[in-house]
Amino acid sequence: MAYQLDRITVLVIEDNQPMLDIVKALLTTFGVGQVIGAANGEIGFKRYHEYKPDIIIADWMMKPMDGISFTRRVRGDEQGPNPYVPIVLMTGFSEKRRVFQARDAGVTEFLVKPFNARDLYKRMVQVIERPRQFVKADGFFGPDRRRRKDSAFQGPYRRDTDYQNPSVGGALQLKQAEAHAQLFKIRESSGIGKGDKINLKTRD
């Protein structure tokens, strides 16, 4: 069983023609059914209305409309085909404040150039498998900007829900059993019973 990417349309907005060709070729190799290209945000916005893409991949720096303005326009366009469409922003910037700027505009994912095929694929998996909820608040409409610090963390969160996750719950129970065994050993070697009270004296 594999992704049926032939069922989706991806819009790529990039003013650098060779780069646009490369991204289109990568997506076609992945098996994406329809890959639409646009040379800037202005044309991209028209294509967005025309083709109703499932994913948009846009460059940041473009004229006359850059990727950030394009994103704001898509998110703010009530007549648009899909204001929730995932937008992946490609850019050479990787600085924290730039990421925040993109996030505040409503960008879903950030793809730092230069990237490799797996980087692009990972962003696609992210928007397919882990879509973000949207937030509508004063002055903002876009994907929830709060992100778990470690999305790859599979360990316990010290919550009841840990036990509902079979892989985490199992590991946690094993760890607890090991800890109990260790405690038992300590008790046995020191001759302390389970209910014994211990008076700890501080050293002078």
CA–chain centroid gap for 196, Å, is 51
Reduce the DSSP state of residue 141 to 3 states and report it: strand
How far from 103 is each of 68, 79, 165, CA to CA, in Å? Answer: 9, 22, 30
Task: Count the neighbouring beta carbons within 10 Å of the beta carbon of residue 11.
Answer: 24
Q: Does residue 178 bind another protein (CB under 8 A)?
A: no
> Closest approach of Cβ 151 to another protein, in Å?
17
Q: Does residue 57 bind another protein (CB under 8 A)?
A: no
Applying CB under 8 A, which of residues 41, 44, 67, 86 lies at the interface with another protein? 86
In DSSP terms, 36 is beta-bridged to: 11
Residues in the chain: 204
CA dist., res. 113 & res. 89, Å (int): 10
Q: Does residue 135 bind another protein (CB under 8 A)?
A: yes
Q: Does residue 93 bind another protein (CB under 8 A)?
A: yes
> Closest approach of Cβ 135 to another protein, in Å?
5
Q: Does residue 40 bind another protein (CB under 8 A)?
A: no
* Tokens coding 100: 């925040």
Q: Does residue 31 bind another protein (CB under 8 A)?
A: yes
Binding residues for another protein (CB under 8 A): 1-5, 7-8, 16, 18-19, 21-22, 25-26, 29-31, 54-55, 61, 84, 86, 90-93, 95-97, 113-118, 120-121, 125, 127-129, 131, 133-138, 144
